[in-house]
Amino acid sequence: MVLVKIPDRIYKKRQRELKEELHSFELDGMILFDPISIFWLTGFHHIATERPLALVFPVDSELSYFIPALETDHLSLRYPDTPLMVYFEYPGKEHPMTHFIAHLESEQLTTKVLAADSLTFSARWGYEGPSLDSVLPEMDIKLVSQLIPDKRKIKNKEEIELIKESARWGNLAHTLLFEYTQPGLRETEVSMEASMEASLAMLKTLGPAYEPYSWAGGFPASAGYRGQIGEWSAIPHSLDRNAIFREGDVLVTGASANVGSYISELERTFIIGEPTEKQKRYFEIMLNSQQAALDTFGPGIPCSEVDQAAIEVVEKAGLSNLLRHHTGHALGLEVHEAPFIDLGDHTIMEEGMVFSCEPGIYELGFAGFRHSDTVIITSKGAEIITYFPRELDDLIIR
């Protein structure tokens, strides 16, 4: 049976381990404001808006949620009998922070020593409000903003299984994108057609247990160009432009799928029609740069060393002026996570870390060239789980 979400036992295990860790540091509990951290620890996924939401996680008693009224039924349906402290709205007659302090007092936590991933609610969609330490100056709060993100750096086998499943469906969407792209068509229609077809196949295969955890209406599996078409392929983070494909265009793709809220990353450089000599040269330099990076990944290797390997290839080709970004980043619940494949990040790679490998070169007015693959660090080396062809002959649209 295909795994489509993190099992509840994993969330319970994470909670037990966090309590043990907090206890070992003589902390009485933790307050979590970050929506991703709350999801990682409990499995509760919600739409983060201007309305504050927090998880109160005591060591010696059960957790509770501080939530706006519009989330009460949502949470109760998923986790019945979970203690809730509900306020009506933001900004409300009384600011939600006032209600939150009352909640902490009712739980007798204001005299305790608590960790917190932030000193205030997540600042989203116009939220404004005081910090905890400003309204509770006598309370002993230890700011540990990286405690949960650091735990997320190494994925367990269930997380890796979900990321691998994401890679399978991202590959299907990408395959369809390649098949449907032709001169004269627009990027938006081709991207939507490929994403829709792949998503329907994904939904039918994974069955009713699959939940996309998507509030923005995105496709479960998706592939597209994000505007990196023709000269605009030289803009690494371009945006969809509904551009028309033309003969001779260089195209930079992107594909992924959401499985249990975990994602993979697959990107390739296509060329419509017979490539020019300059296109061939730039493509090969990019490909060699990526291969040098892929050959360097492994346990015990600093992230900076992988970036250096990719950069050296471009430098030797005399094109270092065309570099616009580092070689990659970790990923999982978010598209970009720490650590980063960057000269300034000396984090040592460990088994279970998951990275993108995506060096690129970009010449304004000409084109950009980038592949990206998802790499899992194993006990003996690295496993590349994205498998769409990488060689130029396989990426020419004829």
C-alpha to C-alpha distance for 154 and 218, rounded to whole angstroms: 27
Q: What number is the average pLDDT over the span 162-177?
A: 98
Those residues whose C-beta lies under 8 Å from the C-beta of residue 192, and which sit 6 or more positions away, are: none
Residue 216 pLDDT: 54
Token reading at 92:
């409300």
Residue with the larger pLDDT of the pair 212 and 230: 230
Task: Check whether 314 has a pLDDT greater than 70.
Answer: yes
Those residues whose C-beta lies under 8 Å from the C-beta of residue 313, and which sit 6 or more positions away, are: 285, 288, 289, 292
Q: What number is the average pLDDT over the span 28-42?
A: 96
User: What angle is formed at CA 287 by the lines to CA 282 and CA 289, rounded to 5 degrees?
Assistant: 95
Task: Check whether 353 has a pLDDT greater than 70.
Answer: yes
Q: Are the C-beta atoms of residues 233 and 251 closer than 8 Å to each other?
A: yes
Kindly report the pTM of this predicted structure. Answer: 0.96
Q: What number is the average pLDDT over the span 167-190?
A: 98
Task: Check whether 215 has a pLDDT greater than 90.
Answer: no
Range(s) of the chain covered by CATH 3.40.350.10: 8-151
Residue 123 pLDDT: 75
C-alpha to C-alpha distance for 271 and 230, rounded to whole angstroms: 9
Residue 180 pLDDT: 98
- The CATH-assigned architecture of domain 8-151 is 3-Layer(aba) Sandwich (3.40)
**Per-residue pLDDT tens over the stretch 216-257:** 568 999 999 999 999 999 999 999 999 999 999 999 999 999
**Per-residue pLDDT tens over the stretch 251-297:** 999 999 999 999 999 999 999 999 999 999 999 999 999 999 999 99
Residue 124 pLDDT: 80
CA distances from 187 to 181, 227, 274, 279 (A): 8, 8, 20, 21
C-alpha to C-alpha distance for 277 and 60, rounded to whole angstroms: 68
User: What angle is formed at CA 382 by the lines to CA 265 and CA 309, rounded to 5 degrees?
Assistant: 85
| % residues pLDDT > 90 (the chain) | 93
C-alpha to C-alpha distance for 313 and 286, rounded to whole angstroms: 8
Q: ω into residue 359 within 30 of 0, thus cis? A: no
Residue 321: band (very low, low, confident or very high) from pLDDT cuts 50, 70, 90 = very high
**Per-residue pLDDT tens over the stretch 100-131:** 999 999 999 999 999 999 999 987 888 999 99
Taking residue 313's Cβ as centre, other Cβ atoms within 10 Å add up to 20
| % residues pLDDT > 70 (the chain) | 99
Q: What is the mean pLDDT of the chain?
A: 96
Q: Which residues pair with 224 in a beta bridge?
A: 254
C-alpha to C-alpha distance for 41 and 18, rounded to whole angstroms: 9
CATH class entry, domain 157-397: alpha beta
Q: ω into residue 339 within 30 of 0, thus cis? A: yes
Strand ranges, E, within the chain: 29-32, 54-58, 64-68, 84-87, 113-116, 140-143, 221-224, 250-252, 254-257, 269-272, 328-330, 337-341, 354-357, 360-363, 367-370, 373-377, 382-384, 396-397
Range(s) of the chain covered by CATH 3.90.230.10: 157-397
Q: Are the C-beta atoms of residues 258 and 266 closer than 8 Å to each other?
A: no
C-alpha to C-alpha distance for 265 and 259, rounded to whole angstroms: 13
C-alpha to C-alpha distance for 302 and 293, rounded to whole angstroms: 12
CA distances from 124 to 31, 142, 354 (A): 18, 23, 28
Task: Check whether 213 has a pLDDT greater than 90.
Answer: no
Name the DSSP class of 232: G
C-alpha 99: how far from chain center: 32
C-alpha to C-alpha distance for 169 and 164, rounded to whole angstroms: 9
Q: Are the C-beta atoms of residues 272 and 311 closer than 8 Å to each other?
A: no
The H or E element that residue 350 is part of is none
